[in-house]
Amino acid sequence: MADKGAFDGASRRRGHAGKQSDLLPEGQFERRLEKLDAALDEVRPKPQRTSGPVQTRGADYSNALRMSSEFVAAILVGTILGWGLDKVAGTKPWGMIILMMLGFAAGVMNVLRTAGTTTTPQSGGEPGATTALDEDDD
CA-nearest of 106, 51, 37 to 78 is: 106
Cα separation, 33 vs 24, in Å, equals: 12
Count of other CB atoms within 10 angstroms of residue 28: 9
Helices (H), ranges, the chain: 4-10, 26-43, 53-89, 92-119
Nearer to other proteins, 21 or 87 (CB): 21
The 74-113 site mask, x for binding other proteins (CB under 8 A), equals: x-xxx--x-----------------x--xx-xxx-xx---
Number of residues that bind other proteins (CB under 8 A): 51
Nearer to other proteins, 3 or 42 (CB): 3
Instruction: State which of positions 110-129 bind other proteins (CB under 8 A).
Output: 110, 122, 124-125, 127-128
CA 72 to chain centre: 19
* Four-residue CA torsion sign, 98, 102, 107, 108: positive
The 37-76 site mask, x for binding other proteins (CB under 8 A), equals: ------------x--------x--xx--xx--xx-xxx-x
106 neighbors 119 (Cβ within 8 angstroms): no
Residues that bind other proteins (CB under 8 A): 1, 4, 6-8, 10-20, 26, 30, 49, 58, 61-62, 65-66, 69-70, 72-74, 76-78, 81, 99, 102-103, 105-107, 109-110, 122, 124-125, 127-128, 130-134
